[in-house]
Structure 1
């Protein structure tokens, strides 16, 4: 995540960075005046570059979704998955504004949360399909259903960690996000890599119950 006010940053980019961080800390009712002060510009400059606070919010969503999509696509399609994963983990401190913004969006609920989650699922279906085609991931009988489950597990895990803290969202520091992500990494990787059940009895019984999932014929073709 880029830092507002960094040397060489354009006014438009500084505004976007400041908005992501301010919305994450204070919520989407944060004023243009506060965002402008963070970016070192006037409120009029925000209107000039983004048109309105609503359009600025949309631009923040677009940036955050693109950031997540690009990082996931890069790591999942890397030749060395282990090295790519550890490179991402080494950058957790830099991702704090993104974590905060995403959590704020989830906790806002309503259309704000739905918009972000649905776009995350759509993006994930694409980059997971690419990774399956490259032989990096095992194919699924129903790829979209699997992606929705994985996104839901990630969202739920992060929300649970936030809710367990006796602190407000803006007070969660880098140490919290490091502990949270490392706390999720081991069990997730164990399940993804080694599995969970010792046999496939439950899956076989469920497949008999529901019949062929929508993508099963395409998968076996």
Structure 2
């Protein structure tokens, strides 16, 4: 299975030693969780543990580099699909969805591990989501929001929440998760209803939205007074 970690534009496309270690770490952490030590990452990358520490300083430094790379891949892929949408592009993404399994596994493991690093990952994903949604609005392919930050946070929670619930209901929480198969099944299950909902909406009028908008306006006015 070709991975979304490889064949990316930019200075790491030649897979330098640092990039090779980083990509191996994303895969290892996604498959085995963050309790996995540097030695396992080094073995997967074909280098010594000392070389891992030389490039990243510590396991936390390695994880920070992994976080940044995963977020950038997500941002680039989402920006491309939302600012230049096409039927052919969507179908190609659906055909190749398993390629993103290592990235999704890494993010899921981060949330499962919890702690400050997981909180940081979540906030960075929210910020990344807000950025690519803004790009879509600027490109004219997405509707603007009254509260872009809140919309980005909601969509992030919905996306990750559905993924975590799907894996929990399948009973796949350990080291034996077939991530490619799981992501394929999840995509097949939610893609159509999600696209229908995001494209056509759900409610036939604005009654509920108007009520909340008015309430928010009143609350803001009372706070200022």
Fold agreement, TM-score > 0.5: yes
Give the gaps of 5 or more residues in structure 1. Answer: 215-221
- Give the number of aligned pairs: 210
Q: What is the deviation of 1:38?
A: 0.7
Out of 2, 9, 34, which is 2:40 matched to? 34
In structure 2, what is the Cα distance between the partners aligned to 1:177 and 1:16? 22
In structure 2, what is the Cα distance between the partners aligned to 1:142 and 1:2? 33
In structure 2, what is the Cα distance between the partners aligned to 1:213 and 1:193? 31
Out of 30, 39, 62, which is 1:56 matched to? 62
In structure 2, what is the Cα distance between the partners aligned to 1:50 and 1:39? 14
In structure 1, what is the Cα distance between the partners aligned to 2:140 and 2:22? 37
In structure 2, what is the Cα distance between the partners aligned to 1:108 and 1:60? 15
In structure 2, what is the Cα distance between the partners aligned to 1:84 and 1:169? 33
Q: What is the deviation of 1:168?
A: 2.8
User: Superposition pairs for residues 2-151 of structure 1, below 5 Å?
Assistant: 2=5, 9-78=15-84, 80-151=85-156
TM-score (norm 1): 0.88
User: Residues 147-196 of structure 1, C-alpha deviation per residue, up to 9 Å, x if partnerless?
Assistant: 11111100111011011112334322222110112212112111101111
Q: What is the deviation of 1:84?
A: 2.6
Asked whether 1:170 is paired with 2:155, we answer no
Name 1:197's counterpart in structure 2.
203
Q: Given that residues 162 and 169 in structure 1 are in contact (C-alpha distance below 8 angstroms), is that contact kept between their aligned partners in structure 2?
A: no
Q: What is the deviation of 1:212?
A: 7.1
Q: Which structure would you say has the larger RCO, counting Cα contacts within 8 Å and 6 or more residues apart?
A: 2
Q: What is the deviation of 1:207?
A: 2.2
**Where do 4+ consecutive residues of structure 1 move more than 3 Å?**
none
Between 170-179 and 67-76, the greater mean CA deviation after superposition: 170-179
Asked whether 1:156 is paired with 2:158, we answer no
User: Residues 61-98 of structure 1, C-alpha deviation per residue, up to 9 Å, x if partnerless?
Assistant: 010011101111111111x4333322222221111110
In structure 2, what is the Cα distance between the partners aligned to 1:184 and 1:23? 26
In structure 1, what is the Cα distance between the partners aligned to 2:43 and 2:130? 38
